[in-house]
């Protein structure tokens, strides 16, 4: 069954959003319309690659919702994105959880078709997909490299294909890609990750050149350093958190990262940033 969101109007501008995805039992996420009505076009942001509540994707969702945008929280694990959407609804704004495999062209297209069908205008899309899994090069099968390429690069291609068509019709939109240290330089045991992230950087900057005269702002953000979030804090049965603590205050703060994404979104065409590198003061470069 293809993804879709059925929205029913309730009293006092409160909506219940029903989501179905690939046979998964329907869930409910209650959202509150702050000021919009069904007849008014609502600006929204789409954040793809959201995982744990303490992660870059979730922090970006919170930041954009805080500023009044309706946020679509898209990720693989419904329990995680549902929790992020519920936190946003309870504290800062409106959010809808949407289970998505960003490597599936049909699911990506269904996500954007669903949003447009709700009389909503997409003004920001954030691609935050791709994990840095280490491997020994000569022991890495082709399937591993293929999977890493699909996660880090193919997903970005599919997302850009879908959202840029919409942005062109609007003559407006911001597309932000999350990069990594590997976007600039490779490290031992991360050949596959470097392959995807370095390709993503070149791709993003090329798209920025193509669409800059059409009102579309495309930016690539290099996250260069250890992110202070769930992924590192819970890695290796807590060893990741220990390693982070030994670095003092040298971890990348997820809320500060989200602030910089919002800064990019606010920029006017007279002064656009197309690449931004973020790193803690202790990180070597």
Residue 26 is assigned to a structural domain of this protein:
no
Give me the pLDDT at residue 249, please: 55
Task: Identify whether the C-beta of residue 176 lies closer than 8 Å to the C-beta of residue 221.
Answer: yes
Give me the pLDDT at residue 213, please: 96
From residue 230, give the alpha-carbon distance in Å to each of 5, 6, 68, 204.
Answer: 29, 32, 26, 27
Rounded to the nearest 10 degrees, the angle between the axes of helix 155-170 and helix 191-211 is 10
24-32 and 14-21 beta bridge pairing = antiparallel
Give me the pLDDT at residue 36, please: 41
Q: How far is CA 118 from the centre of its chain?
A: 21
The CATH number given to whatever domain includes residue 141 is: 3.40.50.720
Range of the domain at 76: 41-278
Residue 151 is assigned to a structural domain of this protein:
yes
Residue 5 is assigned to a structural domain of this protein:
no
Give me the pLDDT at residue 16, please: 32
How many domains does the chain fold into?
Answer: 1
Residue 17 is assigned to a structural domain of this protein:
no
Residue 16 is assigned to a structural domain of this protein:
no
Residue 253 is assigned to a structural domain of this protein:
yes
Residue 21 is assigned to a structural domain of this protein:
no
| Distance in angstroms (rounded) separating the CA atoms of residues 236 and 283 | 22
**DSSP of 163-230, one letter per residue?**
HHHHHHHHT-EEEEEEEEGGGT---TT-HHHHHHHHHHHHHHHHHHHHHGGGTEEEEEEEE-S-EESH
Give me the pLDDT at residue 284, please: 78
Residue 113 is assigned to a structural domain of this protein:
yes
Give me the pLDDT at residue 2, please: 40
pTM: 0.82
* Tens-binned pLDDT, residue by residue, of the chain (285 aa): 444 333 333 323 333 333 434 433 334 333 333 334 456 789 999 999 999 888 999 999 999 999 999 999 999 999 999 999 999 999 999 999 999 999 999 999 999 999 999 989 999 999 999 877 878 888 989 998 999 999 999 999 999 999 999 999 999 999 999 999 999 988 888 898 999 999 999 999 999 999 999 999 999 999 998 887 555 545 455 555 555 555 555 578 999 999 999 999 999 999 999 999 998 887 777
Greatest alpha-carbon pair distance for the chain in Å reads 61
């Amino acid at each position: 069954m293809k993804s879709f969101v059925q929205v029913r109007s309730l009293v006092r501008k409160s909506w219940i959003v029903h989501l179905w995805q690939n046979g998964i039992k329907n869930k409910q996420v209650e959202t509150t319309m702050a000021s919009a009505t069904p007849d008014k076009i609502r600006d929204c942001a789409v954040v793809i690659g959201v995982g744990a509540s303490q992660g870059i994707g979730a922090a970006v969702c919170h930041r954009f919702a805080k500023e009044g945008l309706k946020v679509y929280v898209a990720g693989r694990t419904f329990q995680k994105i549902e929790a992020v959407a519920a936190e946003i609804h309870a504290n800062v704004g409106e959010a809808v959880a949407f289970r998505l495999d960003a490597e599936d062209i049909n699911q990506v297209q269904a996500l954007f078709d669903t949003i447009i069908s709700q009389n909503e205008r997409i003004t920001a899309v954030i691609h935050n997909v791709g994990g840095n899994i280490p491997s020994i090069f000569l022991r890495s099968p082709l399937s591993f490299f293929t999977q890493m390429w699909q996660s880090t690069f193919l997903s970005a291609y599919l997302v850009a294909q879908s959202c840029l068509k919409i942005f062109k019709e609007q003559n407006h939109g911001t597309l932000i890609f999350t990069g990594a240290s590997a976007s600039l330089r490779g490290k031992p045991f991360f050949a596959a990750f470097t392959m995807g992230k370095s390709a993503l950087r070149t791709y993003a900057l090329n798209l920025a050149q193509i669409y800059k005269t059409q009102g579309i702002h495309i930016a690539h953000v290099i996250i260069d350093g250890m992110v202070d979030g769930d992924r590192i804090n819970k890695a290796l049965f807590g060893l990741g958190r220990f390693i982070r603590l030994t670095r003092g205050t040298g971890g990348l703060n997820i809320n500060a990262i989200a602030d910089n994404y919002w800064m990019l979104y606010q920029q006017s065409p007279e002064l656009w940033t197309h690449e931004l590198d973020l790193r803690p003061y202790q990180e070597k470069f």
